[in-house]
Amino acid sequence: MTSGQTETYVLMEMLTKRAVVNVRLALVAHAQRWRLHHAHVILDEDAPLTERAWRYSTAAFLERRLPGPTVAALLRGDEQDIHDLHVVSPGPPSSAFSYRLHGHEEWGQVITPWPRTEWTVSRDTDTPQPGNSLLVGDGPSFLNFDQALSAFLYRLPHDGRASRSDLWRFVLSQRAGWFKQITIRHDLLTAVVDGEALDGAVLELSWAAGNRTHSVVGTGPYTFELPLGLPPDSLLMLRRNDQWLDWRNFPTPTYGRARDASVVWEQPGPELELLLANGEGQHLECKQQVPEGESRKKMLKTIAAFASQDGGTILIGIRDDLQVVGLPEGENVDTQVMKVVNMIRDNVEPAPPYEPRVIDHDGKKVLVVEVAGGGQMYAYRNGQRSDFYVRVGPNTVPARHHEITAGFRQSPTAPML
């Protein structure tokens, strides 16, 4: 992800030039008017839209296709009448945070097949906040505003990431070229390229000791032979001159992070060997079975630490000496997976980005919990307390004050849909 700042007038010009844009608005009743709490704007003029209007006594949620100049005026701070509601917005901010993401990259609960650029404008700290009362009215009923916001924006149950701290979010798809699917075998990488403007594009696979390229002549599959397997820390890039269109990075170890759904791994056999090659460490911890008691607490603290930093993997079914023993055969595998899922849900806040899956190794089943770095701090809930942890080599230790502070500073104040 690349980031920077964009002057607000640039966004206003983009809006003014568009006949229509898709907008989702979350509004809060305040002083006989409707004050903007969050606006999500899709700048693609052909994006699909389902018009919705949920209205309650204290809040309203609207999804509408609006003229670009109307949205520009609202961003500028001009009051607007939208769906029979008089909407007010704070005055124009000087700049917006900008982010450019590659295809299939999750950020703020949004994933798109193609790359996209997003701009966010933070909400002032003195902005009136919505209450926590029940929402009952012309729309689905909700326990509180945050639940309604999560359902309206994502159609998902509420978690901590749905409590938006940004006033505006703009999304513009970049469909010039992207990776539709990447398949990695032990001796071959196949990238299926799609896009609307691929003229002059080049496909490049680079690593520490060299690189190889393909000229892109249109949509379809392109292959790279891997006689020695995929080199560590490889970068697959779709670019035109010095501008990237899409990319994927394959860090070492090849396995051990929550993975991109567009990347298919077809490497039978060596998966556990790759993970266990260097033993337990910064990004790997092993358990012989689904833990209980103090071992359970240690695993949950480690998951919180992985998510708070740059990710890692828990392997369940591996002895301390790194021998593969597999999950206990006396208990259903799905039941053991659900035990882990439930303990993560009940004890790590907010919900961390992770993927549980079961792999078969020589007839023995191993539960792999791949935790992605979440770009913010995640806490292990210890009774009424929330404790923060980091990973130092193979150890999980309490985070120090400056580490917690730094983690919250880089938390996506803007980056959440």
Domains and CATH numbers, the chain: 2-173 (no CATH), 178-250 (2.60.40), 272-409 (3.30.950)
Is the pLDDT at 73 greater than 80? The verdict is yes
- The per-residue pLDDT for 407 is 65
**Does residue 9 surpass a pLDDT of 80?**
yes
Average pLDDT over residues 83-96: 87
Centroid of chain to Cα 399: 23
> 259 falls in which pLDDT band (50, 70, 90)?
low
- Which alpha helices (DSSP H) does 62-122 contain, by range? 68-76
Whole-angstrom distance, CA of residue 122 vs CA of residue 414: 6
- Provide the pLDDT for residue 258: 54
Whole-angstrom Cα distance, residue 63 to residue 273?
A: 50
Residue 90 is predicted with a pLDDT of 85
Residue 417: which pLDDT band, with cuts at 50, 70 and 90?
Answer: very low
Reported as a pLDDT band with limits 50, 70 and 90, residue 252 is low
Residue 387 has pLDDT above 80, yes or no: yes
Q: What is the mean pLDDT of the chain?
A: 87
pLDDT band for 330, please (50, 70, 90 cuts): confident
Of 111-125, 166-180, 208-222, the range with the lowest mean pLDDT is 111-125
163-191 pLDDT, tens digit each: 567 899 999 999 999 999 999 887 899 99
Q: Among 13-22, 32-41, 119-128, whose mean pLDDT is lowest?
A: 119-128
Q: How many CB atoms lie within 10 A of CB 394?
A: 13
Which of 161-175, 249-263, 337-351 is predicted most confidently?
337-351
Summarize pLDDT for 94-115 with one digit per residue, the tens: 889 999 999 998 877 788 999 9
pLDDT given for residue 260 in this prediction: 74
Asked if residue 350 has a cis previous peptide bond (ω within 30° of 0), the answer is: yes
Please name every residue paired with 358 in a beta bridge, in sequence order, or none if there are none.
Answer: 367
The tokens describing 347, both together, are 């004890």
Most confident of 89-93, 177-181, 324-328, 375-379: 177-181
Average pLDDT for residues 347-362, to the nearest whole number? 87
- Tell me the percentage of the chain whose pLDDT exceeds 70: 91
| Res. 396: pLDDT tops 80 | yes
Residue 22 has pLDDT above 90, yes or no: yes
- Of 59, 3, 60, 67, the residue nearest 41 (C-alpha): 67
pLDDT at residue 340, rounded to an integer? 95
Is residue 412 pLDDT above 70, yes or no? no
User: How far separated are the first and last CA of the chain, in Å rounded?
Assistant: 16
Buried b (16+ CB within 10 A) or exposed e, 118-135: bbbbebeeeeeebeeeeb
pLDDT band at 414 (very low <50, low <70, confident <90, very high): very low
49 — pLDDT class (breaks 50, 70, 90): confident
Q: List the single range of 132-141, 197-206, 276-285, 302-311 with lowest mean pLDDT.
A: 276-285
Per-residue pLDDT at 244: 97
**pLDDT > 90: what percent of the chain?**
59
Mean pLDDT over 196-204 rounds to 97
pLDDT of 413 > 50? The answer is no
Looking at the DSSP bridge assignments, the partners of residue 206 are 211, 235
Q: Where are the alpha helices (DSSP H) in 103-206?
A: 145-154
pLDDT band at 28 (very low <50, low <70, confident <90, very high): very high
Phi, psi of 284 (to 5 degrees): -145, 135
Name the most confidently modeled range: 152-161, 254-263, 274-283, 334-343. 334-343
In the predicted structure, residue 52 carries a pLDDT above the cut 80: yes
Cα angle 18, 23, 25 (rounded to 5 degrees) comes to 145
* pLDDT band for position 359 (cuts 50, 70, 90): confident
